[in-house]
Amino acid sequence: MSPSSAVLRRHRRTAAAFALAGSLLLPLTACGDGGAKDTGAGRETGAAGKESTGRNPPAADLTVLAASSLTDVFETAGAAYEKSHPGTDLTFSFAGSQELAAQVRQGAPADVLVTADTKTMDGLRAETGTPAVIARNRLVIVTTEGNPERIDALGDLADSGLKVVLAAPEVPVGRYSAQVLDAAGVKVRPVSQEPNVRAVLSKVELGEADAGIVYKTDADGARDKVDAIEIPDAQNAIARYPAATLKTSEHSAAAAAFVAWLGGPEAQKILREAGFQQP
């Protein structure tokens, strides 16, 4: 792929993500052409608009709703999937899991959902197929580069002189953060509560907060901008990422094939290399 093609591809995916998020306000028909675009000769569509299942997954334009912490790794995984599945095009929309759940409930057109916790997915049983956990993650403390406040452990976050930012309680990483802080008996008054893990990380990267709690993979991806302090296993929480097809998908067979691929060796290798743990 030429440099100009790569740039166009990134712009297309970013634009599609913003368009999907806007589906709560405006009708969305552009993603995957509402399932009407036939991009593979092996696909058949029945009267109900669902693809027939076959031995080989049909080609399709798939929209994947995914937790913010999967942003970087899913761009890599998506490129690998498209390469091995000619004719399939993946468009990702990344947001906090609670935001994705709201989009699903309000009928945003999509094919696959991947959340950062099982609780959010369990609340969507009527809208999804059977979920499968594809990865795990854990929490770390992040500080501004160089750790000028000399933060070493969870207990240090209780210092009233520190500006600590956390994710909101309804966000999976916010819920995990509250869990580990409560278990450690640490009371924190955050200066802000953010809608997703990337927003927490950004506040620390920009120096708008001294510290925050994020997933290890997010901290690893920003190691040139923040410092990470490990949280001991005995105090930590494990995030589990389930993936599922959406029952409203017009590309059910292709969506199921992508979910199955996420649990397979190629995708698992990509996830491991990005710092995610085995399911």
Each as own residue / partner, the long-range contacts of residues 71-74 (CB below 8 Å, 24 or more positions apart, any chain) are: 71/198, 72/217, 72/221, 72/274, 73/217, 73/270, 73/271, 73/274, 73/276, 74/114
- pTM of the full structure: 0.80
- Quick check: 49 pLDDT over 80? no
- Confirm whether 279 is domain-assigned: no
Whether residue 12 is found in the same domain as residue 130: yes
Residue 144's contacts (CB-CB under 8 Å, 6 or more residues apart) are 204, 205, 207, 209, 210, 211, 226, 227
* 171-184 per-position pLDDT tens digit: 999 999 999 999 99
- Quick check: 154 pLDDT over 60? yes
With tokens 């085995």, the residue in question is 278
Question: Which has more pLDDT, 8 or 218?
Answer: 218
Total of domains in the chain: 2
Average pLDDT over residues 265-277: 98
Predicted local distance difference test score (pLDDT) of residue 150: 97
**Neighbour-count burial of 38, counting CB atoms closer than 10 A to its CB (0-12 exposed, 13-18 middle, 19+ buried):** middle
Whether residue 126 is found in the same domain as residue 245: yes
- Confirm whether 278 is domain-assigned: no
- Quick check: 278 pLDDT over 80? yes
* Mean of all residue pLDDT scores within the chain: 85
Whether residue 58 is found in the same domain as residue 32: yes
Whether residue 177 is found in the same domain as residue 234: yes
Whether residue 16 is found in the same domain as residue 119: yes
Whether residue 184 is found in the same domain as residue 253: no
Whether residue 56 is found in the same domain as residue 124: yes
Average pLDDT over residues 59-77: 96
Share of the chain above pLDDT 90, in %: 79
* 226-267 per-position pLDDT tens digit: 999 999 999 999 999 999 999 999 999 999 999 999 999 999
Whether residue 23 is found in the same domain as residue 54: yes
- Confirm whether 55 is domain-assigned: yes
Domain holding 220, by residue range, is 137-238
Predicted local distance difference test score (pLDDT) of residue 19: 44
Predicted local distance difference test score (pLDDT) of residue 241: 98
Give the C-alpha separation, 101 to 126, whole Å. 12
Question: Which has more pLDDT, 39 or 127?
Answer: 127
Predicted local distance difference test score (pLDDT) of residue 56: 73
Average pLDDT over residues 144-161: 97
Whether residue 94 is found in the same domain as residue 106: yes
Whether residue 28 is found in the same domain as residue 125: yes
Average pLDDT over residues 60-81: 97
Please give the structure tokens belonging to residue 213. 């709690």
Whether residue 249 is found in the same domain as residue 208: no
Whether residue 126 is found in the same domain as residue 151: no
- Quick check: 98 pLDDT over 60? yes
Predicted local distance difference test score (pLDDT) of residue 59: 86
CATH of the domain at 204: 3.40.190.10
Question: Which has more pLDDT, 31 or 270?
Answer: 270
pLDDT band at 55 (very low <50, low <70, confident <90, very high): low
Predicted local distance difference test score (pLDDT) of residue 20: 46
Which is it for strands 164-167 and 211-215: parallel, antiparallel or unpaired? parallel
